[in-house]
């Protein structure tokens, strides 16, 4: 809805309404979350086959401002793309496992309410990905984990960081804003495992982190184990670029708290989301 948003911002509400009514039968084009949502629905299809009576599925809620003026066009778009959505106005105060928006202000508000949230960016050309399995990629510190270790690294350097990680190898890191979303994915994965489909599970999770595999990686692994959570594939890059690994994974969505990695991923056509969490991001926002 980028063109429509520009009309709203530059020409005002009346021109926006007029344009939407005139283009009511024209479906909206897919946005950056489109392939992610299609993959969620593919998981739901498999879940319904295995658990016909279960309501434990992905629920996708589409939230938009000025909904009353575009209801019919949204319905036509949803039907055209054969999607399943609930629709509501632009309020995210109810409980949700993940909130995505192109508006960083709304994302920060959601995070402040304790809701897992991230800002989506649209690559110039989105890499095509297969509909299944659903592939979700997380950064570690500031995303799955708190930013406590990252702050020590930024303030006191690599040597102090590694010393601290070695000393506290068996002390779990605090949880980050997207831990709950990983838990939700893991809960649904176990439904497939319970039917003997671990190897054919349509959900795969990845951890792609700048930590190394030895000292700091051990603490990350121990933290996940203490939470009772599994990651299907883990990549400890020791500060190397993330782009080549992300290109190999071809994830439907990638979360990182550093804009440099988000931008790197976007250049490769990967749908990347910024998680504006932690001290470094707060200080950046204050400077802005």
Map out the domains of the chain with their CATH numbers: 28-91 (no CATH), 134-287 (3.40.50.1000)
Among the listed residues 59, 71, 103, 139, the single catalytic one is 139
DSSP alpha helices (H): ranges in the chain?
2-11, 13-22, 34-50, 71-80, 104-112, 148-156, 158-167, 179-193, 215-227, 243-249, 259-267, 279-287
Catalytic residue at 59? no
pLDDT band at 152 (very low <50, low <70, confident <90, very high): confident
- pTM over 0.85? The answer is yes
Q: What is the mean pLDDT of residues 214-240?
A: 93
Across the range 12-38, mean pLDDT stands at 88
Closest CA to 207 of 239, 190, 182, 175: 182
| Pair of tokens at residue 116 | 């897992």
Residue 16 reports pLDDT greater than 60: yes
Confidence of residue 122 (pLDDT cuts 50, 70, 90): confident
């Amino acid at each position: 809805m980028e063109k429509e948003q520009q009309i709203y911002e530059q020409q005002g509400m009346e021109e926006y309404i007029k344009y939407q009514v005139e283009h009511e039968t024209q479906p909206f084009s897919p946005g950056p979350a489109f392939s992610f949502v299609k993959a969620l629905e593919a998981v739901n299809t498999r879940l319904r086959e295995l658990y016909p009576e279960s309501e434990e599925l992905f629920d996708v809620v589409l939230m938009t401002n000025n909904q009353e003026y575009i209801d019919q066009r949204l319905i036509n778009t949803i039907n055209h793309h054969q999607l399943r959505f609930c629709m509501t106005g632009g309020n995210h105060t109810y409980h949700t496992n993940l909130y995505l928006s192109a508006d960083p202000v709304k994302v920060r508000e959601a995070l402040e309410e304790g809701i897992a949230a991230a800002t989506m960016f649209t690559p110039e050309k989105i890499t095509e990905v297969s509909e299944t399995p659903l592939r979700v990629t997380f950064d570690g510190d500031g995303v799955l984990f708190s930013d406590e270790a990252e702050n020590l690294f930024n303030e006191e350097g690599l040597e102090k960081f590694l010393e601290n990680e070695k000393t506290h190898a068996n002390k779990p890191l605090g949880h980050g804003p997207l831990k709950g979303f990983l838990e939700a994915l893991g809960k649904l994965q176990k439904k497939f495992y319970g039917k003997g489909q671990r190897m054919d599970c349509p959900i795969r999770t990845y951890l792609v982190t700048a930590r190394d595999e030895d000292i700091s990686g051990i603490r990350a692994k121990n933290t996940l184990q203490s939470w009772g959570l599994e990651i299907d594939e883990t990549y400890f890059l020791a500060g190397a670029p993330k782009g080549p690994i992300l290109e190999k994974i071809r994830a439907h969505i990638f979360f990182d708290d550093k804009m440099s990695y988000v931008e790197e991923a976007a250049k490769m056509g990967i749908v990347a989301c910024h998680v504006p969490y932690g001290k470094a991001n707060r200080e950046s926002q204050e400077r802005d």
